[in-house]
Structure 1
């Protein structure tokens, strides 16, 4: 049976309305947008009208909060960019979704990739690659090589896929859980996934994928354990990434996959969410 909807608020830009309606749906509030000569009306179900009105007051103050973009993303919508005439430019939207650390990692990945494409690959990649032979002496001399492979990418598709997920989920984690959480999650997942991949295949690997699977695991499990934080992943997205992980292990994909790094990153992210949830509940 169709739920009757009542006008909540009128907005001048459809993109604003779409962003907020997606968030309402993520909060289990039935809503849509109705267009008339006066503008775009956001309509909601009567039973949750007061709750929706309070949520819109929060939205109007901080429309770039990552939970709104996250809701659109989870609903399978293209991430709505707020127009410059409303709440700021597209560039501001990109910057505001993620914190300083997330954007720093994002930028370093792209700067290193671009430098490699310009002919500096032989001077940049070897110092950042994992140790050919791991020893205490090598570790003390070049400790950055434990995380270095996370910044190395070997194709445009590789870096675009990894940095998109990192910006989306890493940015949400940094905004919702704080800089300390995303830094620790990055370091733990990079070190553990890189070390595991080294033991599995040797030092010839690279990419942010292990870290990406860590933020996926963290977002997935934190949605179960800490739903009040507003971070979660839809079943379809989790299912896609788990199938992608499985396909890598059965070796049917046309590209080489750092399967061990992916699996270890996922485990690290899930466990990190469990530890953090216990800390908050305690």
Structure 2
């Protein structure tokens, strides 16, 4: 790998990484002491990558410029704003969840549910011949509040992870945490459940560990967000909430994400 740039400014590194990835260049970020380092994976892109960085540093984006409200932006401008916050897999799963919600609520509710729940026969019978069911409950949502809550956190947490480590890492974390959280919820309560929140808590756990004691890391999360998310998880085990909560999916999703975070730090110490 070739080191392109180093900085203590996590926002600058994240902006450079995002810009280069949009240009199709394979880059990653590592941490060394108080420095974040931007690395190019394939040497053949070096000349083009350095030219893009030179242009970026010559004409950096002006943070002081007022941002138009999202409601006033045209389609292209709105997409440009959103694209800076996430990668392609974040967007694809976001849209897929919306499509499933439309089918589940308005087009073919019974058929959609029967094809995507963990076990079509009820009870505790695994359908080994239909392994997609072990993942697809993350696409199901049972209220608008449920859907909006999960999609917001998916975009915020999944988008950050994908911009920092790439689509393959986000896909892997999503699949592992989906399998773990779905299995736990099915084992405890049966097949009639759904939602992306087990994965969301998995992403939260992964980010917590990867960025632990690294306040400048691009995945570092505000303490208030951590308090809110953990508090919501704890409240789910009480009678204080007015909605049904998939407690086992949340807890096991968080634990599986934490474990993946520890594995990432142990196996990839130079790629934090």
Structure 2 length as normaliser, TM-score?
Answer: 0.70
- Structure scoring higher RCO (CA < 8 A, sep ≥ 6) equals 2
After superposition, the Cα gap between the structure-2 partners of 1:216 and 1:62, relative to the gap in structure 1 and judged at 3 Å, is farther
2:190 aligned with 1:202: yes
Q: Secondary structure at the match of 1:249?
A: coil
1:279 — aligned with what? 267
Q: Which runs of 5+ in 1 are unaligned?
A: 1-20, 25-53, 69-77
Correspondences of 1:1-282 after superposition (within 5 Å): 89-131=77-119, 132-135=122-125, 138-139=127-128, 141-224=129-212, 229-281=217-269
Partner Cα distance (1:96, 1:84) in 2 = 15
**Residue 280 of structure 1: how far off its partner (Å):** 2.1
Q: Is the 8 A contact 2:214 2:220 kept in 1?
A: no
After superposition, the Cα gap between the structure-2 partners of 1:127 and 1:59, relative to the gap in structure 1 and judged at 3 Å, is farther
Which of these two proteins has the greater Rg computed from alpha carbons? 1
Structure 1 length as normaliser, TM-score?
Answer: 0.68
After superposition, the Cα gap between the structure-2 partners of 1:97 and 1:178, relative to the gap in structure 1 and judged at 3 Å, is same
Q: Is the 8 A contact 2:160 2:219 kept in 1?
A: yes
State the Cα deviation string for residues 90-112 of structure 1 (Å, max 9, x = none).
21221332212111111111001
Q: Is the 8 A contact 1:226 1:277 kept in 2?
A: no
After superposition, the Cα gap between the structure-2 partners of 1:59 and 1:23, relative to the gap in structure 1 and judged at 3 Å, is farther
Q: Is the 8 A contact 1:225 1:274 kept in 2?
A: no
Q: Is the 8 A contact 1:193 1:262 kept in 2?
A: yes
Q: Which runs of 5+ in 2 are unaligned?
A: 1-8, 13-52
Partner Cα distance (2:60, 2:115) in 1 = 46
Q: Is the 8 A contact 2:177 2:257 kept in 1?
A: yes
Partner Cα distance (1:253, 1:242) in 2 = 14
Partner Cα distance (2:58, 2:109) in 1 = 45
2:4 — aligned with what? none
Partner Cα distance (1:232, 1:128) in 2 = 34
Query: Moved runs in structure 1, 4+ residues, more than 6 A?
Result: 78-81
**Residue 262 of structure 1: how far off its partner (Å):** 0.2
CA RMSD of aligned residues (A): 3.3
Partner Cα distance (2:152, 2:141) in 1 = 13
How many residue pairs get aligned? The number is: 216
